[in-house]
Amino acid sequence: MQISPSILAADFANLEREIGRISSADWAHVDVMDGHFVPNLTLGLPVVQALAEVSPVPLDVHLMIEDPDRWAAQYADAGARSVTFHVEAAADVVATARSIREAGARAAIALKPDTSFAGYADMLAEVDMVLVMTVEPGFGGQSFMADQMDKVTQVREAVDRAGVPVWIQVDGGVSADTIETCAQAGADVFVAGSAVYGQQDPAAAVERLRSQAQASGGGAPAR
């Protein structure tokens, strides 16, 4: 069970300090938004590269941008250890995933709430993680969409049938109130924003969330 705190909920004026406050986490989740694929604008390549140089944990970059086919591998080159792109924005999902891997990072695909997983089940060998969005992408602080748990379970069943080491990530509204539900549905990587950075001690919040997920008995089966 891995926790990937979203720096979207952090203090952007002090990102080096903020990322240092989650040294107990498995990843630092970095949302890249271009104001086109989603109606919000955050940060880009230069900031990711700077963060990679100072972060105590690997960067888990989530691209919510148009034309990820062009940009995804460049984020791996900039220092991201995992790069997620949206299938809805990619012209060639397999080629883009391969370009990320060739650049030395883990490749992941993301699905918006209205996007079915069925059309991508045969691509599991090409990716290292599937991100099921549990809110509409674009803004933090949204309410958790419990109806997405069926999709998480579908991905878990497909991963287990295929016997591939693919992680299943959830992003959106993940908190102490929802993380066990996500784990029981089959997720094993959890993006949490305000549930971590909204606490007085973010590192302790990470540990609590991880313990909750582990205690739920969900996630990937033992191999």
Tell me how far apart the terminal alpha carbons of the chain are, to the nearest angstrom. Answer: 14
Q: How many Å apart are CA 207 and CA 213, to the nearest integer? A: 10
69 part of the active site: no
Phi, psi of 89 (to 5 degrees): -105, -15
User: H helices within the chain, ranges in order?
Assistant: 15-20, 45-54, 68-77, 93-102, 149-162, 179-185, 194-197, 202-215
Q: How many Å apart are CA 188 and CA 182, to the nearest integer? A: 8
Residues ≥6 apart with Cβ < 8 Å to 182: 134, 149, 152, 170, 174, 190, 213, 218
Residue among 34, 60, 128, 171 flagged as catalytic: 171
Residue 22, CA distances (Å) to 45, 162, 192 in order = 21, 34, 11
11 part of the active site: no
Is residue 53 classed exposed, middle or buried when 0-12, 13-18 and 19+ CB atoms within 10 A define those classes? exposed
Q: How many Å apart are CA 167 and CA 114, to the nearest integer? A: 21
Residue among 31, 34, 60, 128 flagged as catalytic: 31
Active-site amino acid positions:
31, 171
